[in-house]
Every structure is written in structure tokens, then in C-alpha cells.
Amino acid sequence: MSGQPHHEDLPPVSTVGDDLVGADTLISSRHPAIRRVADVLRNAGDERQRLIIVDDSENILAAIQNKLRIDSLYLTPDHALPHELRRSLPTDVPIHTVSPDVAKTVFKTEKRPRLFALAHRPSPKKLHELSNTQGDIVVLDGVRLAGNVGAIVRTARAFDAAGVVLVDSGIVNSMDRRLVRASRGAVFTLPIVLAKAEELIGFLQDTGLLMISMSAHAGLALSELRTLQQRVAILLGSEKRGSSLYLEDHVTERYRVRTNPQIESLNVSVAAALALYERQKRE
């Protein structure tokens, strides 16, 4: 034997400056570059995991624009690297072309992207970081569908909220891959805080921030939200169970969302959009 490493163990890499990206396709899930992806997927809930997966060019661009450090980029042979991403990607970021079969093996039953990146996860946000910010805070209590949470994060960013607090969400990492996708990259531009209910109440008491909620049977019309001049925390629960009794006990006012009585409730992301829109119109 010559002692030279086998070709499979040499990462076929190109960089942004190359004319042809990913000329050699990774065809083994045992390749070191692929094993790194599998490790990130397997340990996504581990706080010690410093890398996250970011799917699709729009989200990768949002990560770059918000100063996340891109570790490496992956794409399948049938997917060209978009020009804007090529131009924005640091020139030293390695780019790997991955066969569809390998992508299928690594991602298993999860959504298999044609373009994704490994990025360094930013430090988790804390409640105290929302103290001296502008805008309202959206509190999601027991909202567990990543699609709903992501849509609300995106809406909160659109209406200049200060941040989103997740209580009992089942999400263990604010950079959760599903949440990044559903928010269309808005998680990189808006603080997302994971907190316990008791921690949230302590924060509200320390800062003097009022918490309000919404109900189909409340006395105040939703339009009255625009008359509140101070910052507020807007509490929203899951569509089925609503918010917890513990948090509801700390609500200052409830506002009515008038709907057709044949419709029992609104999707939580719709309710969030209605409240944030009214808040943006405050006098």
C-alpha cells in the first residue's frame, strides 16, 4: 500500500471563487463532511452543539446578513448556487456537492433540502436582553407547532416587536431548523427567548411591563389596543388549549376578537398578526 488516503476520505471541496462548484460529488454517508451534518442533526437539542443547519438560499442569506458565521455549504448536483448567495458567501467557505441518495440517507424522514449550510449557532438570548428595547413582546405559551411559531416570529419582525418569548413550546433551541425555515430567516433578526413561566412573570414584575391577552368574550374591543401607549407583553396560547391559568392570572386586560360565532377560534398566528397590527396603529 502506498500509504496515501483513499479518495473517499478526501473532502471534495470547492470555494466561491471557483468556476465550477462541487465538481466531485460526495457519494458516501461516511465522508467526514457528511458525518458532520449527521452529527448536527442527531444532536440538535444538545446545548453543547455549536452548529446549526440552515436550509435554502433565502435563509442562508439572512444568516450571513445577520453576522452568523457560515461553516460550510452543501448542495445537490441539480441545484445551482444562486448568484446573490455566491456573491455574499465568504470566499473561504467550503462548498460540497452531495448526491441525492446521500442526502436521503442523512436526513431520513426529515425535509431534504437541495441547498443548506452549517452555521455557527449564536448565543441564546435571555429575558433581560428585552428590558431596554423598543416595541412589544410576544409571549407564546404552549404553542408547539414550529410552523405557527415561525410565522409569528416573522410577523413580529414585520411589525417591529422587540422579541418573542417561548414558554412550554417543546422547542429546545431557538435556532431549531424547523423554526428557521418557518420564519423565513426572521429568527436571525429578532430575539427569541426560551423561558419558564415563573421566569417570565419575574421579568414582567421587575420591568413593570403589563401583559395582555385576547379572548372572543373579552369586554374591550381589540381596537382599544392602539390606545395603550406603553410597551406590553401580548400573551397567546395554543389554539386548542389556550394559555395556562398561571399566566392568565397575571394578565392585566383582555381584548375581544370578534368573529363569526360558528368559528370557535382563530389560528394563533392569525391572532398574533391582528394584535400586532393594532399595536402598530397606536395613537
Give span(s): CATH 3.40.1280.10, the chain: 127-280
> Considering the chain, what percentage of its residues have pLDDT values greater than 90?
68
| Residue 257, φ and ψ in degrees, nearest 5 | -110, 105
CA atoms within 13 A on the CB side of 268: 27
Residue 42's SS3 state is helix
Give span(s): CATH 3.30.1330.30, the chain: 7-120
Higher per-residue pLDDT: 203 or 24: 203
188: alpha, beta or left? (left if phi > 0; alpha if psi -120 to 50): alpha
State the architecture of 7-120 in CATH terms. 2-Layer Sandwich (3.30)
pLDDT at 215: 83
Is it the case that residue 210 has pLDDT exceeding 80? Answer: yes
Spell out the alpha helix ranges (H) of the chain. Answer: 32-42, 57-65, 83-88, 100-107, 146-158, 177-182, 197-207, 245-248, 268-280
pTM: 0.85
Is it the case that residue 127 has pLDDT exceeding 90? Answer: yes
Pairing of strands 253-256, 70-75: unpaired
Report the pLDDT averaged over residues 162-186.
Answer: 93
pLDDT digits (tens, 9 = 90+) for 67-112: 999 999 999 998 889 999 999 999 999 999 999 999 999 998 777 8
Read out DSSP for 135-196?
S-EEEEES---HHHHHHHHHHHHHTT-SEEEEES-S-S-TT-HHHHHHTTTGGGTS-EEE--
Q: 127-280, which class in CATH?
A: alpha beta
pLDDT at 283: 55
- Of 242, 223, 177, the residue nearest 37 (C-alpha): 177
pLDDT at 263: 75
